[in-house]
Amino acid sequence: MAKKVAFFGLGNMGGPMAANLIKAGFEVCAFDLVPASVQKAVEDGCTAAANEKEAIAGADFVISMLPNGAIAEALYIDGAGLLDLVEPSALLIDCSTVAASSSRRIGEEAKNRNIRAIDAPVSGGVAGAEGATLAFMCGGEATDVEAAKEVLKHMGANIFHAGPAGAGQVAKACNNMLLAVHMIGTAEALQLGVDNGLDPKALSEIMLKSSGCNWSLEKYNPYPGVMEGVPASREYSGGFMVKLMQKDLGLAMEAALASKSATPMGALANNLYNLYATMSDEDNADLDFSSIQRFFD
Amino acid sequence: MAKKVAFFGLGNMGGPMAANLIKAGFEVCAFDLVPASVQKAVEDGCTAAANEKEAIAGADFVISMLPNGAIAEALYIDGAGLLDLVEPSALLIDCSTVAASSSRRIGEEAKNRNIRAIDAPVSGGVAGAEGATLAFMCGGEATDVEAAKEVLKHMGANIFHAGPAGAGQVAKACNNMLLAVHMIGTAEALQLGVDNGLDPKALSEIMLKSSGCNWSLEKYNPYPGVMEGVPASREYSGGFMVKLMQKDLGLAMEAALASKSATPMGALANNLYNLYATMSDEDNADLDFSSIQRFFD
Amino acid sequence: MAKKVAFFGLGNMGGPMAANLIKAGFEVCAFDLVPASVQKAVEDGCTAAANEKEAIAGADFVISMLPNGAIAEALYIDGAGLLDLVEPSALLIDCSTVAASSSRRIGEEAKNRNIRAIDAPVSGGVAGAEGATLAFMCGGEATDVEAAKEVLKHMGANIFHAGPAGAGQVAKACNNMLLAVHMIGTAEALQLGVDNGLDPKALSEIMLKSSGCNWSLEKYNPYPGVMEGVPASREYSGGFMVKLMQKDLGLAMEAALASKSATPMGALANNLYNLYATMSDEDNADLDFSSIQRFFD
Amino acid sequence: MAKKVAFFGLGNMGGPMAANLIKAGFEVCAFDLVPASVQKAVEDGCTAAANEKEAIAGADFVISMLPNGAIAEALYIDGAGLLDLVEPSALLIDCSTVAASSSRRIGEEAKNRNIRAIDAPVSGGVAGAEGATLAFMCGGEATDVEAAKEVLKHMGANIFHAGPAGAGQVAKACNNMLLAVHMIGTAEALQLGVDNGLDPKALSEIMLKSSGCNWSLEKYNPYPGVMEGVPASREYSGGFMVKLMQKDLGLAMEAALASKSATPMGALANNLYNLYATMSDEDNADLDFSSIQRFFD
């Protein structure tokens, strides 16, 4: 008999994730406050739930993909209070990207009730959600992360166990902070080369084979005309939007403030993206994050 | 008959480079102001020259490996004035890491005299010099870079043509600036993770397979205990010293000033290394550059 | 008849503040979890309260000076819940330095109950508390700030109304962020001059009369030997400790994150203080904040 | 009998400076490559010289106000070679803002020839030049600076002796770097306050009376509508242009590189101005430097 999944948050990311579970043979009961999202989920084969409580009836897995920590905490604790309503056997998987402190709170409250719960924020974007190639960075008990693979493997290609509750969020924040740092560093280095008469393609090739090599340079060259099939080759449309990078950098800064960690490069990256996003008369927040290259023209 | 090379600067880098040319069958005439360096070169099979002029007599190639631009300019133009003394058929290869403006001046003065000259700064350090695995980043005419390969290939594994005179210096400065940026970014990200309860090894593995991936993380993990055989596993001894990174960042900053390029991340990296190098009661300048991890403890 | 003040938090700051109110003729009922603090307050003329509720009985003013927002929120809302217990006529004055969001929450909850409350963080340190020369930066209704002057004027010399609830905290965060920025800028400029052969006293005098002039240079010169009677002249003992500046910068960063404001210089100042505070084998967190000069030696 | 001044460089700054010397009774012989500048100088009462040599004939003072160090070095050493041509009794005063290394070279070459020479860069802009209220920051022998006051006092209000040759340049670079740092810090702090609901005028008044106080806040508030008569009140026209601040920050960075001084805040200020100056579709380089406020909107 098909296992049952309660799925909360069926937007650009959650929608295709739930659809992939349907394809894999799960029975998915969907809940979202946006009628159009529910409608689309039903077209994909989900059942619509009238409310949160109905959605989780008999669920083996509860998966949530929500926009921020306040909404996630409301769903599980403060508002709908699912932690007090789910089957004791259910496994809760919050795929939302939120502050580590939010995930730790949900994890702790779940533990107090003997409910299994993990945080599992993703990377890979809409394309990853649609193609089931997401990476999941999981925080929680190792056995629970292992058990979660039964569903996660149908939505993603890589499943990492980062550590205890909240560790998934921390790992994602660290990774994306580092990504922002080398993306801006790459953009600066390429422009410095161009300003000194070098061809950006020749310089990219040299750095790719040298110690400057990094993901931004190798998979996502920000300089227009150097690499095909990346946002830089289509005027920075598509891809991972500046505003999403701002959100992730904000979460990294929040974590750094809480642990009093020094992150000078990360903080500068955060501020440069904030400045870039609101540059006068431009609307850069919706462009791909590699468009920071334009800042250095 | 063996081709003749005049080699200037037989220190930690130049010494083994010249030795590799001897092994490859070249006749090498060495000049250095430090007697011990000359002595060692002679033991390796070089001939010692009494002065600069004697060194270049009949040379097919003139190679220099000098500590800074003033010394290089003195050798070729202002002091010994080799540009006016070399055989018209000789090919000049300056492997020194100096300001692009220095290399451009030497290139221009050589061109005025119809002398072929390229800049060819290296990366790879002493180990690369000894093992003949250096990378050469060359600036100058394509045909001259091609011709230089006859000797360069015996001293290195990668030979890049970056662009016109000075472009080799620019490429190296860009690459090493980017290296410094992602090294510090990696150190910050790892410490942020550790401060939030993550294991540095687990976090490193996640970021290696994610968009945070970069050379520092993959080949040179700065966190002690994560990777074997790197400076971090031997208290940051050996490797690429902080003071050498400071020199390269200084050259990158000089290039950026000259072209009025904005390099906020590179400038911050430069300043963090300057602060770190002179931290009170420490002598960090001689440690490997990945020891910047300690700054974030 | 003497007006009655309930005073919460009688530490290094709150203690002398309460003592000044006693001197001004107020009846002060003190509460603190640390017995020694209560003991000292009683010696200064306060009455000791057995618990929070007893402290506020009949109070015209409730003043709190607490270490962080969680404790302040617990006192007024979540724990002791004073907002539900105080006399309707009492005026609540929270002098704690906390996040603006904390003050806004307390302000809003008070308003819902028709209780008058303002936030009034101070600057001036222990010396200001003892000498009754503190500056109060107040957030709340203008009439409430006006009414608060009846007590505040006996503890401080300047009382500013910054805006609505939380604005006192924002004003203090902005001011102290700017202070950190020009303190570090001043330290850098002085060291740059010294490194280039200038006398720090001569350079200070020039900048004091020029556009570089700022409070750090004028009142608090960080370079040893330039100004008498400042922390730099006594090895950075006394004064405003690095760890307190770190706290204030953390609050400024929190405010900036919440409003998505770009503060590149403030963020760098925050990170430089974090790096400086934990420099290996040093214990800089307890030194005066002008000791950041040592970072640039 | 009137003393004679040879004046080189009669542009926006040099022109009114020379005119003030005429008013003070000096005989001024002017030289400039731009005919219109010479023409204007003649209208102001100067004599036009056909060449550099003619200009200095019988001169008691030689004053230069040139755009960069290469031009200054050409005038005194490499090109016109005035150091070999001037009267032994003449006092040379270079008011150009150039690298300290340039001024040191001119100072040294002059000393070798027993010629008295000082560097005396100015602050105060065109208005200061016209109103004879410039500040001169002088480097050189104390007796020479003293002797220079005979002319400088007619062109400026403050004459500082910063130290040996080049020290005038260093003092100006330090001062303007610090100015840039607190200008940007002030802009950030004001915007952070505004973003959190504060009135920029109220916040300015609080910080003016607090430890955040600085010249930018007091004399040159960058937030529109807060202060009258400053560039911010006239859309940032007039004042000290962004491109001039970029030049001065570049010189400060050059000095810092030469002395390996860490200037993290100054370097960030330099980069923020570089980014701001070339923000796409804007032409910010000609606006007043306080317009950096717009970057934070």
Q: Which of C275, C291, C297 to mutate to test the interface with B (most CBs of B within 10 A)?
A: C275
For tokens 């504060």, name the residue. Answer: D198
pLDDT value, residue C279: 84
**Does residue C261 have a pLDDT over 70?**
yes
Q: What tokens appear for B84 in the block?
A: 């006016």
Greatest extent of chain B over all pairs of C-alpha atoms, in Å:
66
| C169 within 8 A of C120, measured Cβ to Cβ | no
8-state DSSP, D51: S
Please give the residue of chain D at the shortest CA–CA distance from B264.
D271
| C292 within 8 A of C187, measured Cβ to Cβ | yes
> How far apart (Å, rounded) are the C-alpha atoms in residues B116 and A104?
66
Per the DSSP assignment, residues forming a β-bridge with A93 are A63, A118
> How far apart (Å, rounded) are the C-alpha atoms in residues A92 and D118?
76
- Distance in Å, alpha carbon of D117 to nearest chain C alpha carbon: 18
Q: Are strands A122-123 and B4-8 parallel, antiparallel or unpaired?
A: unpaired
Alpha helices (H) in C2-141, listed in sequence order: 14-23, 35-43, 52-56, 69-73, 100-112, 125-131
Q: What tokens appear for C71 in the block?
A: 């404790």
Interface of A with B in 180-199 (CB under 8 A): 181-182, 184-186, 188-193, 195-199
Query: If DSSP codes are grouped into helix, strand and coil, which group holds residue D117?
Result: strand
pLDDT value, residue A238: 83
Per-residue pLDDT reduced to its tens digit, C154-167: 999 999 999 999 99
pLDDT value, residue C281: 65
pTM here is: 0.95
Residues C170, D252: C-beta atoms closer than 8 Å: no
Residues C178, D189: C-beta atoms closer than 8 Å: yes
> How far apart (Å, rounded) are the C-alpha atoms in residues C228 and C145?
37
- One digit per residue, the tens of pLDDT, for chain A of length 297 reads 799 999 999 999 999 999 999 999 999 999 999 999 999 999 999 999 999 999 999 999 999 999 999 999 999 999 999 999 999 999 999 999 999 999 999 999 999 999 999 999 999 888 899 999 999 999 999 999 999 999 999 999 999 999 999 999 999 999 999 999 999 999 999 999 999 999 999 999 999 999 999 999 999 999 999 999 999 999 999 889 999 999 999 999 999 999 999 999 999 999 999 999 988 666 899 999 999 999 998
pLDDT value, residue D281: 65
User: What number is the ipTM of this complex?
Assistant: 0.94
Interface of C with D in 240-269 (CB under 8 A): 252, 255-256, 258-266, 268-269
Residues D272, B250: C-beta atoms closer than 8 Å: no
Dihedral angle computed from the Cα positions of residues C174, C175, C179 and C185, in that order, rounded to the nearest 10 degrees: 50
| D138 within 8 A of D120, measured Cβ to Cβ | yes
For chain A, give the percent of residues with pLDDT over 70: 99
- The segments of chain D whose pLDDT lies below 70 read 280-282
Greatest extent of chain D over all pairs of C-alpha atoms, in Å:
66
Q: What tokens appear for D279 in the block?
A: 């923000």
Q: What are the φ and ψ backbone dihedral angles of D141, each rounded to 5 degrees? A: -65, 140
8-state DSSP, A294: G
The residues of C carrying an active-site annotation are: 172
Nearest alpha-carbon partner for A219 in C173, C193, A227, B281: A227
**For C187, what's the count of Cα atoms within 13 Å in the CB-facing half-sphere?**
24
Q: Span B215-230, mean pLDDT?
A: 97
Per-residue pLDDT reduced to its tens digit, A201-211: 999 999 999 99
> Which entry of A23, A40, A153, A172 is annotated as an active-site residue?
A172
Interface of C with D in 75-114 (CB under 8 A): 100
User: pLDDT averaged over chain B?
Assistant: 96
The residues of B carrying an active-site annotation are: 172
Please give the residue of chain D at the shortest CA–CA distance from B243.
D260
Query: Burial, D283: exposed, middle or buried (Cβ in 10 Å; 0-12, 13-18, 19+)?
Result: exposed
How far is residue A51 from each of residues A33, A93, C46, measured CA to CA in Å? 9, 19, 57
Residues B267, D272: C-beta atoms closer than 8 Å: no
DSSP string, B13-30: THHHHHHHHHHTT-EEEE
Residues B193, A170: C-beta atoms closer than 8 Å: yes
> How far apart (Å, rounded) are the C-alpha atoms in residues C106 and D196?
17
8-state DSSP, B49: P
> How far apart (Å, rounded) are the C-alpha atoms in residues B276 and D2?
58
Residues C171, D296: C-beta atoms closer than 8 Å: no
Residues 6+ apart with CB under 8 A from B113: B83, B84
Q: How many Cβ atoms are within 10 Å of D127's Cβ, its own excluded?
A: 13
Nearest alpha-carbon partner for D118 in D171, D165, D63, D167: D165
For tokens 């508390």, name the residue. Answer: C129
Q: Span B190-199, mean pLDDT?
A: 97
Query: If DSSP codes are grouped into helix, strand and coil, which group holds residue D159?
Result: strand
- Distance in Å, alpha carbon of C221 to nearest chain D alpha carbon: 13
Residues A250, C261: C-beta atoms closer than 8 Å: no
Query: Which of A264, A272, A278 lies at the smallest CB-CB distance from C271?
Result: A264
Which residues on chain A are in Cβ contact (under 8 Å) with B195? 259-261
| B106 within 8 A of B79, measured Cβ to Cβ | no
- Per-residue HEC secondary structure of A251-273 comes to HHHHHHHHHCCCCHHHHHHHHHH
Residues B189, A211: C-beta atoms closer than 8 Å: no
DSSP string, A149-213: HHHHTTTEEEEEEEESTTHHHHHHHHHHHHHHHHHHHHHHHHHHHHHTT--HHHHHHHHHTSTT-
Query: Which of B161, B164, B262 lies at the smallest CB-CB distance from A296?
Result: B262
> How far apart (Å, rounded) are the C-alpha atoms in residues C211 and C233?
25
Q: Which domains, ranges and CATH numbers included, belong to chain A?
A: 4-164 (3.40.50.720), 170-296 (1.10.1040.10)
> Which entry of D4, D23, D53, D172 is annotated as an active-site residue?
D172
Which residues on chain B are in Cβ contact (under 8 Å) with C188? none
Query: Which of D160, D182, D191 lies at the smallest CB-CB distance from C214?
Result: D182
Query: If DSSP codes are grouped into helix, strand and coil, which group holds residue C184?
Result: helix
Cβ of C296 under 8 Å from any chain B Cβ? yes
Q: What are the φ and ψ backbone dihedral angles of C196, each rounded to 5 degrees? A: -110, 20
